[in-house]
C-alpha cells in the first residue's frame, strides 16, 4: 500500500554545452555569412571588394600619403618635378596641414584669432550642458545660448567697439563661416518656424493663406534660388543706395529657407497633439498665447525634436551652397585653395575634398547620433 512507484529526481543534471553547430565561430559564420548559396555569393563578392579596395584606399590615405612639406614640390612625383617615385599617388596631408588655419578661419586677421577661438570656447561651454538632459537650468542655458551668446559673439567677431579692431565679414571664412551660418539659421528658424506653423494651423483665412503660400513657395524651390534671391534681389527691394552686407544677405536667405522647413516639422508636432489638450486649455480659460506657450507647444516641440535635429543636419549641409554665391565657407575655401599656385598638384583636390567631407561628416554624424539618443530617451519616457 505504501509502496510507491513514483520516481522523484533529487538532483539536477549537469548542464550541457550548446551544440557546436549553434554556438561557435564556425556556426556564426555559417549562419551570418553563408546561410544559403545566394548569401555565399554575396559574401564572396563583398570580401573580394573589401580585399581589393580597402587596402588600396588605406594606402592612399595614410601609408603612402605625404605628411610634411611646405609647398607643392613635396607632393609631386619625379616626372612632375618633385622627388616622389614615378607613378606615386597618395593623399597630400602636408597641404591640409599648411592651409589648416585658413580652412578654419578664412582670412580672419591672424593676430586676432583669439576672438573666434573665444567665441568657440563660449559656444562649447554653453552647448554641452544644453545637450545633456540631466543638467538643470535649461531655461537659463537656452537664454544664454540662443540670445546672449549670439549678441556677444557678433560684437566680438566683427569688432569696432570696446577697442576691438573692426574685421570685415569679407575676411571671414572657412569652418567658422559654416558654423556661424548654420547657427544663425538654426536660431532664427525656430521662432519664425513656430510662428509660421501656428499661422498655417490658424482658422483665420488671410493669415493662413499667407503662411501656406510662403511655406510652399520656399519649400518648392531649391535653396540656390533663395540664395540668389537674397543676394541679388534683396538690394533691389531696399532703399536705393543701400549697401547691405553680403554675409548678411546669405544669412537672410538661409534663415528664410530654414524657417519654411522648420514650420512644417513643427506643424507635424502640432497635429500630433490630441484635440483634448487644446479643448482642456480652452476650458481652463487660457487665452491663445497661454494655451500655446504653456500647453501645446511644449508637448509638440518635444515630440518633434528628432525632426528638428534632422532639419538642423540638412541645414548644416546646405550651408555649403553659399559657395555658389561666392562666399568662402569650409567647402568654398577648400575649393578656392585648389587654384592656389603654391599647392597645385594632381592629388590636391581629392585630398582637400576628403578633408572637407570628413569635417562635415563628423558634425552631421554627431548630430544624427544625438538625435537617435534623444529619440530613445523620449521613447522611454512614454513607456510605463
Binding interface with another protein (CB under 8 A): 31-33, 35, 39, 42-43, 46-47, 203-207, 210, 216-217, 219-225, 228-229, 232-233, 235-240, 313, 317-318, 320-321, 323-324, 331, 335, 338, 346, 349-350, 353-354, 356-357, 360-361, 364-365, 368
Smallest separation, CB 106 to another protein (Å): 18
Q: Which is nearer to another protein, 133 or 191 (CB)?
A: 191
Q: In angstroms, what is the minimal distance from the CB of 276 to another protein?
A: 21
| Orientation angle between helical segments 175-201 and 305-318, nearest 10 degrees | 130
Q: Measure CA 371 to chain center.
A: 11
CB of 122 to another protein, least distance (A): 26
Instruction: Tell me which residue has cell 544677405.
Output: 249
Find the shortest distance in angstroms from Cβ 354 to another protein: 8
Nearer to another protein, 64 or 323 (CB): 323
CA distances 76 to 73, 89, 124, 176, 296, Å, are 5, 9, 40, 31, 63
Q: All 3 cell numbers of residue 240?
A: 536705393
- Least Å from the CB of residue 333 to another protein: 13
| Residue 258: Cβ-neighbour burial (10 angstroms; 0-12, 13-18, 19+) | buried
Spatial distance between the Cα atoms of 18 and 8, rounded to a whole number of angstroms: 26
Helices (H), 273-296: 275-283, 288-290
Nearer to another protein, 7 or 37 (CB): 37
Termini Cα distance of the chain: 56
Closest distance of CB 141 from another protein, Å: 27
For another protein, the closer of residues 221 and 305 by Cβ is: 221
Q: Which is nearer to another protein, 144 or 350 (CB)?
A: 350
Measured CA to CA, the distance from residue 88 to residue 75 in angstroms comes to 9
Residue 168 or 245 having the CB closest to another protein: 245
Give me 72's grid cell. Answer: 607643392
Least Å from the CB of residue 148 to another protein: 29
> 147 in helix, strand or coil?
helix
Name the residue nearer to another protein (CB basis): 189 or 320. 320
Amino acid at each position: 500500500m505504501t509502496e510507491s512507484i513514483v520516481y522523484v529526481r533529487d538532483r539536477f543534471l549537469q548542464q550541457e554545452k550548446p551544440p557546436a553547430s549553434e554556438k561557435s565561430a564556425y556556426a556564426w559564420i555559417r549562419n551570418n555569412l553563408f546561410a544559403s548559396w545566394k548569401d555565399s555569393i554575396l559574401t564572396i563578392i563583398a570580401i573580394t571588394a573589401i580585399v581589393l579596395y580597402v587596402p588600396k584606399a588605406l594606402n592612399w590615405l595614410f601609408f603612402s600619403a605625404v605628411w610634411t612639406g611646405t609647398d607643392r614640390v613635396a607632393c609631386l612625383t619625379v616626372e612632375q618635378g618633385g622627388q616622389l617615385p614615378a607613378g606615386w599617388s597618395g593623399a597630400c596631408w602636408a597641404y591640409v596641414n599648411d592651409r589648416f588655419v585658413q580652412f578654419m578661419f578664412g582670412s580672419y586677421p591672424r593676430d586676432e584669432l583669439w576672438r573666434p577661438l573665444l567665441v568657440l570656447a563660449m559656444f562649447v561651454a554653453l552647448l554641452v550642458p544644453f545637450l545633456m538632459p540631466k543638467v538643470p537650468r535649461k531655461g537659463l542655458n537656452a537664454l544664454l545660448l540662443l540670445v546672449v551668446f549670439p549678441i556677444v559673439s557678433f560684437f566680438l567677431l566683427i569688432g569696432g567697439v570696446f577697442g576691438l579692431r573692426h574685421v570685415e565679414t569679407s575676411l571671414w571664412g572657412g569652418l567658422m563661416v559654416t558654423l556661424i551660418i548654420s547657427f544663425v539659421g538654426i536660431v532664427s528658424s525656430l521662432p519664425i518656424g513656430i510662428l509660421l506653423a501656428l499661422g498655417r494651423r490658424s482658422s483665420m483665412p488671410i493669415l493662413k493663406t499667407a503662411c501656406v503660400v510662403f511655406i510652399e513657395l520656399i519649400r518648392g524651390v531649391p535653396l540656390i534660388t533663395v540664395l540668389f534671391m537674397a543676394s541679388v534681389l534683396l538690394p533691389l527691394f531696399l532703399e536705393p543706395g543701400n549697401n547691405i552686407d553680403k554675409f548678411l544677405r546669405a544669412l537672410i536667405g538661409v534663415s528664410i529657407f530654414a524657417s519654411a522647413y522648420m514650420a512644417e516639422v513643427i506643424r507635424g508636432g502640432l497635429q500630433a497633439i490630441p484635440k483634448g489638450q487644446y479643448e482642456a486649455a480652452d476650458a481652463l480659460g487660457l487665452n491663445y498665447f497661454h494655451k500655446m506657450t504653456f500647453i501645446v507647444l511644449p508637448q509638440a516641440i518635444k515630440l518633434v525634436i528628432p525632426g528638428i535635429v534632422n532639419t538642423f543636419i540638412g541645414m548644416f549641409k546646405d550651408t555649403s551652397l553659399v559657395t555658389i554665391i561666392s562666399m568662402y565657407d569650409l567647402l568654398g575655401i577648400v575649393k578656392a585653395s585648389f587654384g592656389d599656385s603654391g599647392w597645385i598638384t594632381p592629388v590636391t583636390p581629392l585630398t582637400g575634398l576628403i578633408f572637407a567631407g570628413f569635417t562635415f561628416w563628423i558634425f552631421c554624424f554627431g548630430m544624427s547620433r544625438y538625435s537617435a539618443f534623444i529619440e530613445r530617451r523620449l521613447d522611454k519616457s512614454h513607456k510605463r
